[in-house]
Amino acid sequence: MDTEKLNELRKVEFWENEYLESIFYSLSLDRQKMLEGFSTKEEIKEDWEEYLGDQTSSFATGSERIFYWLFNQFGKPNSSPVGSDMFFETYNAYVHIDIKTVTLSNIGDFRRNIFVGDNQNSYMGNINVRGKEPRPYKGHLPTYYTKSNGKKKICLTYFITILYDETNLDLQTILIMCMPNGLLNKVYGDKIISPGKNPGKIRFNYTSCPYFELLDERASRIKVLLWKEENMEESVEKKLSFIKELYERQDKS
């Protein structure tokens, strides 16, 4: 890779890291506010409980509202119909933030990778399926957005993933992760995407890219916003040892 290209990719990773840190610290400061926000549903539980369908997550809808509230100063919301749950414009970037909620019974959808919509990422590469031909993939988001005045801004993708116990609604852990911009497929290759729920869809293997590989300080692409060991069964803790290590390392730094 020539130096000019490498510098461009480093710049992309620099801004991915800057915004990840910004999201993480902003939510860390508002941690108590966030937890209180999550618990507000309990106050009026009798009024909504009977209308909660089997397929409706008790966390998903409400948690999006809480994060919208917490992100109210993050940037200017954008109304594009193609994008994540939250989509903001800042002075130099377009930032997509999608909220994913996963129950303990479905921990397989959380442990190594998470399901990602085509309209939530700009990654491109080949999906390698056991015993089959690789399938080409391209997310629907651009690597750069071009404004009507010709100005370009980088497209950044983040996921806030919430793992909770569906039996008592106890939070287990909350992660904030950055999915590499599509330009970085030259760095991360195909290892970070795997087959999704349906043909053509993908899962983001966040455990395959724990660091910003082009940054000197090897900053983490995954931040542990909440780790509630006291709520966790030993078997769950064991399955999430990767996240626990990350949390302990993050705590020391």
Residues that bind DNA (CB under 7 A): 53-57, 59-61, 85, 98-103, 105-106, 108-109, 111-112, 115, 117-120, 129-130, 132, 166, 194-199, 201, 203, 239
What's the burial of 131, exposed, middle or buried (CB within 10 Å: 0-12/13-18/19+)?
exposed
Nearest distance, CB of residue 174 and DNA, angstroms = 14
Using CA atoms, how far apart are residues 242 and 112, in angstroms rounded to an integer? 9
Three-state SS for 137? Answer: strand
Q: Which is nearer to DNA, 22 or 105 (CB)?
A: 105
Q: Which residue has the tokens 């008790």?
A: 58
Nearer to DNA, 7 or 61 (CB): 61
Q: Which residues pair with 89 in a beta bridge?
A: 76, 94
Closest distance of CB 62 from DNA, Å: 11
Cβ distance to DNA smaller for residue 223 or 239: 239
Nearest-approach distance from CB 247 to DNA, in angstroms: 19
- Cβ within 8 Å of residue 50, ≥6 positions away: none
For residue 108, what is the enclosing H or E element? none
Say if CB 182 and CB 139 are below 8 A apart: yes
- Residue 186 or 197 with smaller CB distance to DNA: 197
Query: In the bound complex, what is the minimum distance in angstroms from residue 102's beta carbon to DNA?
Result: 5
